[in-house]
Amino acid sequence: MSAAAAWTTTFAVPASHPALPGHFPGSPVVPGVVLLARVQAAIEAQHGPLPALRLPLAKFLRPLLPGETAAIELEPVADAAGARRWRFRVRRPRDGVLLASGEFAAA
97 in a domain, yes or no?
A: yes
83 in a domain, yes or no?
A: yes
- Cα–Cα distances in Å, from 15 out to 23, 72, 73, 86, 102? 11, 19, 23, 29, 25
CATH of the domain at 67: 3.10.129.10
Q: Using CA atoms, how far apart are residues 8 and 71, in angstroms rounded to an integer?
A: 6
Query: Helix or strand or coil: residue 7?
Result: strand
Give the range of the structural domain holding residue 39, as residue numbers without chain letter. Answer: 7-106
pTM: 0.90
2 in a domain, yes or no?
A: no
pLDDT on residue 4:
64
Q: Give me the number of domains the chain comprises.
A: 1
pLDDT tens for residues 21-76? 888 888 999 999 999 999 999 999 998 998 899 999 999 999 999 999 999 999 99
Return the amino acid letter for 36. L
First to last CA, the chain: 15
Across the range 85-106, mean pLDDT stands at 96
